[in-house]
A and B are shown apart, each in its own frame.
Chain A
């Protein structure tokens, strides 16, 4: 009998379902608010740095996971956002919030410009264009050395914490950077979540899954692709801005090709095309090098991390297309299965003969139930990611 209890069947919109979602939200908020009291400042700084990576991955996920376009240039957008904030606050004395805004807008515009050539191209060629952008960025920073400080770097970018008792102590700035990173991550994740669930998001998913069909159905391809590239770059720029004020030091070598590849590896490991995937990915890609260097001598640690990341990336590509998020989703499906609610017919448009028994029919449809087991994650096949999300 006990074997039969799982998976639990939950109706979408039922009290139990709402309670479950509420519990999850409370858990997330609780963990985030509790971390500063539990972790020592050094560890808290690490979490903040991982969150910065996660912000970039949320942006990359919008483009690659939901949009189906690979980008090998996101380190450049990350760096551009960081340098815009750095130069504006240091050289021109612009207040940090405005500089953040400028970073996002600047990256959005550059991203949309990069999207133009990408519009005409497919697959590998888009990767080539973005790869070129990613490789150019460090040399451009060095070339514009009067503005950016060149290869010597830019030092002392800060955003002073607000004048409150919470941020007053010795660890005030660490706390402040933590909340900046968490706030940035929260905003980025919400923006992507809402974008993906909107009309725009449905256009995006349709383009990814079958471009020709989507265009025939009336999706504006140029508009959608340009906007998604811009939004993705803008979010990466936000991550860069947070990085600039929390690290304080910007050097062109920090935004090299390797960083882009780390981002991509992180996204694939975390799970592209899902909302939690990039968050997991950000933490994985930050902590794997940290653990590697804590386990071994610090000099070979970074190299060992690269080997690990590369091997994991290959393994995930072969065996776990949904990444960690896909794996967790599949595991959760063993415990709880959600029965989707039937769309209520609109009285003004519904015909007179709408069958009353639809709901029962729908409720027994296993495939439909499985297909939307967790409504928070839009699970549709992705070219980069979960072509075949693992089944329990």
Chain B
């Protein structure tokens, strides 16, 4: 039982990270129909900047806030300069451009900060005995922080989409860009704000997980596939779905790893693959996605 609780909590805290990244992916996909493979690398660059600012003497919280603002500006800049000019129905060119960004940003971080892993300071106490005991299992302060931030973020985004004019405009622009444009909504600007939100979410995620993963240029490689699997399971255009799906994947993979001996810790990633495949085969729109219907 204690093992079960431990694995469940591990799964939830891993799943929070996947949901976090999936949330960022969904924010760009909703508007631009662009799958941003470079999402993780953009977040990684922001995290390095945060560490550099912190080492230059800025308090960590301020550094993170600066990083988030930079992430938002970066996301908006990328949308304006690299994505929008490709047009709306340009899935492959957009994919290639984000792959180019992936390669360039990943390598750029290596050029600037070197390839060695770095320790990243935590916002909350992160010593071995800084944990809350839950039914005999340990929930670290750091993990609680990630969960709390994620919950707040989801609440903020949900209210933004649900209760504000901007959010309404974003939902219209996502579901029917042509009609939205006729209603006087500047669709491209709405898409740009989607990228800005995604950039900010990524920049917030990086400093939250860096204390436990250490800061390296490859820290987001595996999270990317989990984030994509979560976004797919959630339906790619539903922020709430993405977060829930992230939690589901985190829990399933951890339970599978501990109770199915063949999988073990080394094949956890395969669990995400299987979930991704099953979802795509059975229900490509995911749990909360909207089905796309097109006239041929």
Partner-B contacts on A (CB < 8 A): 70, 117, 120-121, 123-125, 127-129, 131-133, 135-136, 139-140, 142-143, 212, 256-258, 261-262, 264-265, 268, 300, 302-307, 309-314, 317-318, 383-384
Contact = CB atoms under 8 A, between A and B. Distances in A.
Nearest to B102: A261
A273 to B, nearest CB: 12
Given A117-B277, A135-B269, A265-B103, 17 more contacts: A124-B95, A125-B280, A128-B276, A128-B280, A132-B276, A135-B221, A135-B225, A139-B267, A139-B270, A212-B296, A261-B102, A262-B103, A304-B111, A306-B110, A309-B100, A317-B86, A317-B100
Contact of A314 (B91, B100, B272): B100
Nearest to B232: A128
A309 B99 CA distance: 10
Contacts of A135: 221-222, 224-225, 269, 273
A120 B228 contact: no
Contacts of A309: 100, 103-104, 107
A264 B106 CA distance: 16
A261 B103 contact: yes
B92 interface: yes
A133 B269 CA distance: 10
A121 B280 contact: yes
Is chain B's interface secondary structure helix, strand, loop, or mixed overall?
helix
Contacts of B151: none
Contacts of B264: 143
A129 B276 contact: yes
Contact of A132 (B86, B107, B266, B277): B277
B103 A313 contact: yes
Contact of A303 (B111, B232, B276, B277): B111
A355 B221 CA distance: 64
Given A132-B273, A132-B277, A121 B284 contact: yes
Given A133-B273, A383-B92, A310 B104 contact: yes
Contacts of B35: 124, 127-128
Contacts of A123: 91-92
15 contacts: A120-B284, A125-B284, A127-B35, A132-B273, A135-B225, A135-B273, A139-B267, A264-B99, A265-B103, A303-B107, A303-B115, A309-B107, A313-B100, A314-B96, A317-B93
A310 B229 contact: no
A75 B82 CA distance: 27
B108 interface: yes
Contacts of B60: none
Nearest to A256: B221
Nearest to A143: B266
A300 B266 contact: no
B260 to A, nearest CB: 13
B111 A314 contact: no
B280 A136 contact: no
Contact of A140 (B97, B106, B225, B270): B270
Contacts of B96: 264, 268, 313-314, 317, 384
